[in-house]
Structure 1
Amino acid sequence: MKSKQQGSVSKLVIALMGSALFLSACASSSTTADSTIAVSMVKITDAVKAAAWNPTIKITYGDGSINFQPDGIPNHERDAYYAVPNAGVVVPDATTAHIIKDPTSAQKYSFDIPSSPTFSATTTSTSLGSIGVMISGAVLYNPYEGDGKTVAMSSNFTITDSSGITASFVDKCAGHPTPGMNGTGGAYHYHGLPGCVTSQVDITAGPSHIIGIALDGFLIYGANDIDGKAVPITALDECNGITSPTPEFPNGIYHYVLPGTADATSSIRCFHGVVDASQIQQMPPMGPMPDLAAAAIKLGITETELKDAFNNQLPPDFPSAAKKLGITEAELKAALGL
């Protein structure tokens, strides 16, 4: 559990960096041309065209890539209420959360995804933001919450407020919205296998069909193989990938599997294909952040001077920043409300 001060510092980091919280889920590694395996390139355009995409997703087929513009609103029922973190809390539990009405709102996503994905022997870590587009219109996140290590599916909980309203952190579809701040956020996303999505394209004890596409171009499937049997976790690689037949590719193709687990294998932890880092969308901000403009006024300096004092350092170095500003660390933190 994060302390209030730790949570506030986390929000300061976000404000100073001028972007949403964007942590690596595991150690980053780069992909290079030398590590790619050309024979693994398979054109997926026809299969993508035949998949059951939510009609609200704008899909444009180009030369070598496919552009997806989902609005993030899934085409299935969501919970009316969700349990979300209290201010200053990154990863909540039943004692550090409160209930709000479903804050899900339309997002402005645009992903250029390769139509002939290239397998790479070197993996690239997935981030805490969007890592794939699902046929429902929502996006997929990796298994982790905001600290980059707590698995969302294994840390789910349900609380009841004084009005008798009950809400869960993660809903029955393995998803939830980011709580957001000042009108932002509301980005609904999955951390695991969404039964609300597989039920739209699969039958009981039947094979899994396409339920999404990762940013590297490899397709995402549910938990079953071509024979309708559960894919063993031990058959998947470190990125939840496997090369095997699917209904759309009976001769076999490399693809990702969401196995319906509640541990770190619940979602994709890394890309095994060449991925354009510019397509990785950061996670929307969560919770209130320190008001840098107000803090600067209290200190008698400009907001730019305050940001420059921290030098975009992560995590923030309060003693160094205070020294640059010619004040004490206590005075700096007091101005920031920490």
Structure 2
Amino acid sequence: MNYTKLIFLFLLGAFIFISSCSSDDDSCTETTWYEDADGDGLGNPDVSLTACDQPEDYVEDNTDTDDSGSSTSGGSTPLSAFDEFNPDAVTVSYDGDEITIESNGVPNHTSPYWEETNPLYIEPVVAVALTPGRIGGDRSFVLTVSSTPELATTSSATGLGAIGISVTGVPIFNDQEGNNRPIEELIIETFDYAGAHNGPSGYHYHIESSDVPENTTLSFDDEKLIGIMSDGFLIYGRREMDGSYPTDLDESGGHFGVTQHSDGEEFYHYHIINEYYLGTVIALFAVDLQGNPNAIM
């Protein structure tokens, strides 16, 4: 009798278990989930799966047309861009995923800041007054960056001194002068047509070059490469390759797009922002860096 009861209880338990499982299966309603690779809460309509429970990194929304927009990756820096750098001033070397740019800061264009005996010396065509000092001297600028720079979670303000290295080898400065004061009219009057003047740290650029016949090298309101910033992102002129002004720039003048160097691949890069400074000049870079800055030694 006890044996018969045990069999009955076992069969009853098995029936209840099977019924419970069937009930659970019947209550499962599969949902289509869409991949949210960039974590912005919007799903990629082209990547989906069905499941009862929400998988990790998937959402119900399917309206994200660019599921990489919030990624920290800026893409790979196109190495052909470094062919634009002045070989008499700049040396570029590669070590694994690092790129090192070394410059002596000596440009390959004319300026009234050359010694008068130098073949590149010209009389001022833009500058009203010159700051003390001449181009040359024993200078060295070394910047090491990643070949795949990343966007930082927070932007970084630039300070005094070099914040980038231009294609000519001349360092790029922001819109500040000594004592962290903004560029003023009297300072603007010292810039040559290249947008540069001399200072305690030597010859350096602050603003976009001028549209004068003497300017045969530097970018003016075009798509030319300007140089590389200390966070590893390249900076180009005000325009796109097709001659248009970009309309999707972030607050630092950056966006994902193609350039003449990227072989159709999009990567993050800066443009000179198409806004006049003090109504007369355009600063090369007067905003925050969107990547992680590296020291320019």
The two structures have a TM-score, normalised by structure 2, of 0.60
Is 1:254–2:271 an aligned residue pair? no
Is 1:137–2:169 an aligned residue pair? yes
Correspondence for 2:76: 43
Deviation, 1:101, is 5.3
User: Aligned letter for 1:240?
Assistant: G
Is 1:241–2:254 an aligned residue pair? yes
Match of 1:200 among 189, 214, 217: 217
**Do the aligned residues in 2 keep the contact of 1:192 with 1:261 (CA within 8 Å)?**
no
User: Aligned letter for 2:293?
Assistant: V
Is 1:220–2:235 an aligned residue pair? yes
Match of 2:284 among 267, 278, 295: 267
User: How many Å separate the matches in 2 of 1:198 and 1:248?
Assistant: 23
Distance 1:143 1:100, change over 3 A: closer
Distance 1:169 1:220, change over 3 A: same
Residues 294-329 of structure 1 show CA distances to partners (whole Å, capped at 9, x for unaligned) of xxxxxxxxxxxxxxxxxxxxxxxxxxxxxxxxxxxx
Correspondence for 2:22: none
User: Aligned letter for 1:173?
Assistant: A
Correspondence for 2:190: 169
Residues 112-133 of structure 1 show CA distances to partners (whole Å, capped at 9, x for unaligned) of 1221110123101111111111
User: How many Å separate the matches in 2 of 1:98 and 1:70?
Assistant: 24
**Do the aligned residues in 2 keep the contact of 1:135 with 1:212 (CA within 8 Å)?**
yes
**Do the aligned residues in 1 keep the contact of 2:164 with 2:227 (CA within 8 Å)?**
yes
Deviation, 1:208, is 1.0
Residues 52-89 of structure 1 show CA distances to partners (whole Å, capped at 9, x for unaligned) of 4333212111112111110011111111489xxxxxxx
What is the number of residues matched between the two proteins? 210
Give ranges in structure 2 of 5+ residues lacking alignment. Answer: 1-68, 116-127
- Aligned to 1:266, the other structure's residue is in SS state coil
- Aligned to 1:147, the other structure's residue is in SS state helix
User: How many Å separate the matches in 2 of 1:231 and 1:155?
Assistant: 32
User: How many Å separate the matches in 1 of 2:159 and 2:203?
Assistant: 16
**Do the aligned residues in 2 keep the contact of 1:140 with 1:191 (CA within 8 Å)?**
yes
* Relative contact order, higher structure (CA 8 A, sep 6+): 1
- Aligned to 1:120, the other structure's residue is in SS state strand
Deviation, 1:280, is 4.0
- Aligned to 1:73, the other structure's residue is in SS state coil
Distance 1:38 1:199, change over 3 A: farther
User: Aligned letter for 1:256?
Assistant: Y
**Do the aligned residues in 1 keep the contact of 2:113 with 2:197 (CA within 8 Å)?**
no
User: How many Å separate the matches in 2 of 1:116 and 1:150?
Assistant: 32
Structure 1 segments, 4+ long, off by >4 Å, are 36-39, 195-199
Distance 1:119 1:100, change over 3 A: closer
User: Aligned letter for 2:196?
Assistant: G
Distance 1:122 1:156, change over 3 A: same
Distance 1:273 1:80, change over 3 A: closer
Distance 1:236 1:99, change over 3 A: same
Q: Which has the higher helix share?
A: 1
- Aligned to 1:48, the other structure's residue is in SS state helix
User: How many Å separate the matches in 2 of 1:140 and 1:70?
Assistant: 12
Correspondence for 1:58: 91
Deviation, 1:262, is 4.1
Identity %: 23
Correspondence for 1:73: 106
User: How many Å separate the matches in 2 of 1:134 and 1:239?
Assistant: 17
Deviation, 1:191, is 0.8
**Do the aligned residues in 1 keep the contact of 2:74 with 2:268 (CA within 8 Å)?**
no
User: Aligned letter for 2:191?
Assistant: V
The two structures have a TM-score, normalised by structure 1, of 0.53
Distance 1:105 1:259, change over 3 A: farther
Moved more, 246-255 or 134-143: 246-255
Distance 1:37 1:198, change over 3 A: farther
Distance 1:198 1:123, change over 3 A: farther
User: How many Å separate the matches in 1 of 2:133 and 2:224?
Assistant: 33
Deviation, 1:103, is 5.3
